[in-house]
Amino acid sequence: MLNNSKILTIQGLTLIFLLFLWFVNPSNKLIILFFFFLLGSLVYLTKKLDISLILTYFLSSFFLVGKTYFIQRFDISQFPYLMQFYPMGLVSQVQISVSDVLFVFLFVYFIIIGYRKKIKFKKIALIDIFLIIFFFYGIFSDIFVSSNLFLSLYFKKNLFEYIFMYFTIKYIVDNQSFLFKSFLAVLVSLVLFEVFVSLLQFINSSPLGKALEANSKIDAYSGASDELTFIFRPSGTFIHANNFAMFLATISPIYLFLMIKSKQYIYKLMFFLTSICLILTSSRAAWLVTLISSLSILFYFEYHKRINLTESLSIKRILYFLIICVPLLFYSFPRIMEASNIFQKGGGFTLRVRQTQEVLGLISQSPLFGVGTGMAEVKAMEKNPNSVFAEFPSEIHVYPLLIAVENGLPYLGLFVIFLFHSFKKLIIYKKTLLLVVFIGLSSMITIGLFQPFLISNLLFIFLAFDYAKINEDHYGY
Q: How far apart are CA 336 and CA 178, in angstroms?
A: 42
Q: How far is C-alpha 192 from the chain's CA centre?
A: 16
Does the pLDDT of residue 144 top 90, yes or no?
A: yes
Q: Are the C-beta atoms of residues 385 and 411 closer than 8 Å to each other?
A: no
Q: What pLDDT shows up at residue 335?
A: 60
Cβ atoms of 249 and 210 within 8 Å: the answer is no
Report, as an integer, the average pLDDT of 305-334.
63
DSSP state of 228: -
Closest by Cα among 138, 325, 341, 60 to 228:
341
Dump the DSSP string for 112-150: HHHHHHT--GGG--HHHHHHHHHHHHHHHHHHHH-SSHH
CA within 13 Å, CB half, 170: 19
Q: In percent, how much of the chain has pLDDT > 70? A: 84
Q: How far apart are CA 4 and CA 197, in angstroms?
A: 28
Residue-level pLDDT at 341: 56
- Between 146 and 319, where is the model more confident? 146
Confidence of residue 476 (pLDDT cuts 50, 70, 90): very low
The mean per-residue pLDDT over the stretch 420-432 comes to: 86
- The pLDDT-based confidence of 391 (bands split at 50, 70, 90) is confident
Q: Which range, of 21-25, 210-214, 230-234, 434-438, averages the lowest pLDDT? A: 230-234
User: Long-range contacts made by residues 103-108, C-beta under 8 angstroms, separation at least 24?
Assistant: 103/57, 103/161, 103/164, 105/53, 106/53, 106/54, 106/57, 106/164, 106/165, 106/168, 107/164
> Which of 197, 209, 211, 183 lies closest to 14 in space, CA to CA?
183
Contact 189, 11 (CB under 8 A): yes
132 pLDDT above the threshold of 60: yes
Report d(CA 181, CA 38) in Å as an integer.
18
Given a cut of 70, is residue 418 above it in pLDDT? yes
Rounded CA separation 119/113 (Å): 9
Mean pLDDT over 5-27 rounds to: 94
Q: What is the pLDDT of residue 166?
A: 95
pLDDT digits (tens, 9 = 90+) for 162-190: 999 999 999 888 889 899 999 999 999 99
Domain extent listing, the chain? 124-475
The answer on pLDDT for 477 being more than 50 is no
pTM of the model: 0.91
**Under a CB-based contact definition with an 8 Å cutoff, are residues 373 and 336 in contact?**
no
Average of per-residue pLDDT values in the chain: 85
Q: What is the pLDDT of residue 336?
A: 58
State the amino acid at position 248 in one-letter form.
L
What's the pLDDT tens digit per position in 181-228?
999 999 999 999 999 999 999 989 888 889 999 876 666 554 544 455
Are 51 and 465 within 8 A, CB to CB?
no
- b vs e for 330-365, b when ≥16 Cβ sit within 10 Å of the residue's Cβ? eebeebeebeebbeeeebbebbbebbbebbeebbee
pLDDT band at 310 (very low <50, low <70, confident <90, very high): low
Residue 324's alpha-carbon distances to 191, 327, 336, in angstroms, are 20, 7, 19
Predicted local confidence at residue 104, as pLDDT: 94
* Dist. CA 267–CA 15, nearest whole Å: 15
pLDDT score, position 470: 81
Left (φ > 0), alpha (ψ -120 to 50) or beta: where does 129 sit? alpha
- Residues 256 and 272: their CA atoms lie apart, in Å, by 9
- The answer to whether residue 459 scores a pLDDT higher than 90 is yes
The helix-helix angle for 265-280 and 284-299 (nearest 10°) equals 150
Mean pLDDT of 426-436: 84
Task: Please state, in angstroms and rounded to a whole number, the distance separating the CA atoms of residues 223 and 392.
Answer: 10
Kind and range of the H or E run holding 40 = helix 28-46
Predicted pLDDT at 123: 73
By CB atoms closer than 10 A (0-12, 13-18, 19+), residue 477 is: exposed
pLDDT tens-place string over residues 58-107: 999 999 888 888 888 888 777 777 777 777 778 888 888 999 999 999 99
The predicted-structure confidence for 266-304, as pLDDT tens digits, reads as follows: 788 888 889 889 988 888 889 899 999 988 988 888 777
Q: Are 201 and 208 in contact (CB under 8 A)?
A: yes
Residue 325 has pLDDT above 60, yes or no: yes
Residue-level pLDDT at 112: 85
Q: What is the pLDDT of residue 344?
A: 62
pLDDT digits (tens, 9 = 90+) for 107-131: 998 888 877 766 655 578 889 999 9
Dist. CA 290–CA 278, nearest whole Å: 9
pLDDT at 357 over 50: yes
Radius of gyration over every alpha carbon of the chain, rounded to an integer in angstroms: 22
Indicate the SS3 state at residue 240: coil
User: Is the pLDDT confidence value at 371 over 50?
Assistant: yes
